[in-house]
Amino acid sequence: MIRTRLIILTIGLLTAAPAFAQTNVAGDWDFTINSPQGSNTTRVTLKQDAEKLSGLFKSPAGELPFTGTMDGSDMKFTFTINFQGMPLDIAMTGKVDGDSIVGKANFGGFAEGDWTAKRVADTAAAAPPAPTAAPAATDTASTISVGGIAGKWDVTVKTPGGEIPASATFSEDAGKVSGMFGGPMGDVPVSGTLEGHALKVTMTAQTPQGPMTVVLTGDIDGDTIANGKADVAGMGQMEWTAKRTKQ
């Protein structure tokens, strides 16, 4: 009799197993990520194959794929963005509750934030607006003056993951600096000042987790920029140097 009851109990547990199946998150979601730069909402398309998770961020910075895992209602995925030549690993964890997700984000060990997501009811809804094209860079090679900032520069950014090459084109008018800073994610406008040999410029790039502002400072020494510091808002400081490109 006891053995019969055990067999019946085992069969009951096996037939009840589907109740513990993976949560299905496939579809379109609006992710709102609270980073050190503020809150930003991005459309994300999720795909799921059992415990395997994949997705695609759709933002003004372009589309960014990622992969991860599902464990019941627990979600985990990591992706890397190149912010003007500086790699930044972002680890996301979350818990799914129906058509909502609540989670935590780790920005490369520099900072942490939280995030939420809501399932999009109409998956045919319009995608986020296309990014606005950045202004074309002005060729300032003919205006290069020794000791000034005008011209094209080869930039090296020292990140926790190693040295990353980038480029910059600057122009100057009575101490006011403008130009473009180029990296793997495209060109970003910069503006700032040059007081004597002291350079200070600011740029804001669009990333999948929202706008990210960087302040660059350095000392102009002929065709070299030394003592360069890159302050990434809320994420710490990195070093950079540059050499003027010979034409």
CA–CA separation, 184 and 85 (whole Å):
6
Please tell me what DSSP assigns to residue 99: T
Structure-token match 């939420």, residue found? 116
* Cα 123 to chain centroid, rounded: 24
Q: Where are the domain boundaries for CATH 2.40.128.120 in the chain?
A: 24-119, 141-244
pLDDT in tens, the chain (247 residues): 554 454 443 334 333 434 345 588 999 999 998 876 677 888 999 999 999 999 998 876 678 899 999 999 999 999 887 665 667 788 999 999 999 999 999 887 777 889 999 999 864 444 454 444 444 433 333 333 335 788 899 998 887 767 778 889 999 888 899 999 886 556 889 999 999 889 999 988 776 666 778 899 999 988 899 999 988 776 678 888 999 987 6
pTM: 0.48
Q: Give the amino acid at 164.
A: I
Please tell me what DSSP assigns to residue 121: S
The CATH superfamily label for domain 141-244 reads: Quinohemoprotein amine dehydrogenase alpha subunit, domain 2 (2.40.128.120)
Q: How many CA atoms lie within 13 A of 247 on its CB side?
A: 12
CATH code of the domain made up of 24-119:
2.40.128.120
